[in-house]
Every structure is written in C-alpha cells, then in structure tokens.
Chain A
Amino acid sequence: QQQVKQSPQSLIVQKGGISIINCAYENTAFDYFPWYQQFPGKGPALLIAIRPDVSEKKEGRFTISFNKSAKQFSLHIMDSQPGDSATYFCAPGGGNNRKLIWGLGTSLGVNP
C-alpha cells in the first residue's frame, strides 16, 4: 500500500536549468507537505515545506507548488547548480498519523 508516489525516480539537468520533482498522495487528511534533501553519506534534511492553506511557497531557488484537488505537490529548483545534486524525498503527513509518509526518492544530478 503505497500512499505516496514520487516521480521521476531519477533526473539529470544541465546547470542553470529547472528541476521539477512531483509527489502524489492519497490521504486527504495530510496537512503538512515537505521536501527533504539528502546528500550521500548524510541524513535527510528539511529543505522546504508547505501547509495546504497556500498554493505556493518560495525560498530562494526552491519552490513548492501545491494542488489540493489533484492531491499533488511538486518541488521546483530554479537555476539548478551542481551542488543541488542529491536525493530528494517528499514526506507528507498529518491527520491521525503522528509521522511522515515517505516517497521513494528522486536522484537529481546537475551537470556542470
């Protein structure tokens, strides 16, 4: 029972390009929609998160877009840099769950 589906599984973009990663969920009770970033050999770290009362949130080059009716949210990385090369996870949560439900991850590579 996979409640969260993340796509694509892997992505390669050129430096300066836009990276887009998508996350689809099933549980309409979720009220917290984060993206985590993980570098090799490190633990994941919160990158950006959104609540369902807004449709978009921007922090620097990173933007979350949220579509409640479609039960989807996405991460946009503008002006992608080689230092953005990492694995990205969506992990929505809320409702009766006191935990996050993790996607399988997207491996992003940014070519210099």
Chain B
Amino acid sequence: NAGVTQTPKFRVLKTGQSMTLLCAQDMNHEYMYWYRQDPGMGLRLIHYSVGEGTTAKGEVPDGYNVSRLKKQNFLLGLESAAPSQTSVYFCATGPFYNEQFFGPGTRLTVL
C-alpha cells in the first residue's frame, strides 16, 4: 500500500501560471485536507473534504480551488500563481477529523 502520495514532488512556476497538485490515497479514508507550511507559520489549512463530492474552505482558501470527484483523489488547483504561494504543500487523509496521515509534500516555488 502506498498510503498517501502527492504529485509532483517539486515544481517551479512563473507568476500567473496555473497548476494542479494531486493527492491520492489508498487508505479508503473519507476526510482529506490540503495544508501549506511556511517557516514560522506552522500548518495552515487551505481546503478540506469530508467525503467524495464535498469540499469546504479552510483558513487560507484564497487563490486556490479544490475538487474531490473520486474518494481516493483530492486535487488542489492554483489558477494564477503568485509569489506568495511559494510554500510546501501537504495533503493529509483520515477516517475522521482526528487522526491524519500526511503525504510527503510538494515544494512549490513561484517566481
């Protein structure tokens, strides 16, 4: 079992470009989350989903969109990347809100 995987691992974008980050899980979990982690800021929740077809805004949703068309996948989209979105992005999943299993992260740089 792969657990939680994130694609890609690294990406460099130019300001204004768009991209999609993919989170895939084979743990059959209902809950999925997207976080960003910046130095000194801890983990900040961007969007989350409590089941297939559902999404909800987290703490810092502006500039991001998400979709959960299949239970095992949670996509995070950046429509027009900005330097402020340079960060490490983590996906997490869980059977409920409490125990969360994290992916390895995607390091994104926006120039």
Contact = CB atoms under 8 A, between A and B. Distances in A.
Interface residues of A, number: 21
Given A43-B92, A104-B40, A98 B97 contact: yes
A100 B31 CA distance: 12
A45 interface: yes
Contact of A102 (B31, B42, B97): B42
A99 B35 CA distance: 11
Nearest to A51: B98
B45 A103 contact: no
B33, B45, B100, most chain A CB atoms within 10 A: B100
Contacts of B102: 43-45
B33 A99 contact: yes
Point out which of A93, A99, A103 has the most chain B C-beta atoms below 10 A from its C-beta: A99
Contacts, number: 55
A108 B50 CA distance: 33
A89 interface: yes
Contacts of A94: 97-98
A34 B43 contact: no
Interface of A: 32, 34, 41-46, 49, 89, 91, 93-94, 97-100, 102-105
30 contacts: A32-B98, A42-B104, A42-B105, A43-B4, A43-B90, A43-B92, A43-B102, A43-B103, A44-B90, A44-B100, A45-B101, A45-B102, A49-B98, A89-B42, A89-B43, A94-B97, A94-B98, A97-B97, A98-B31, A98-B48, A98-B50, A98-B96, A100-B97, A100-B100, A102-B42, A102-B44, A102-B45, A104-B40, A104-B42, A105-B42
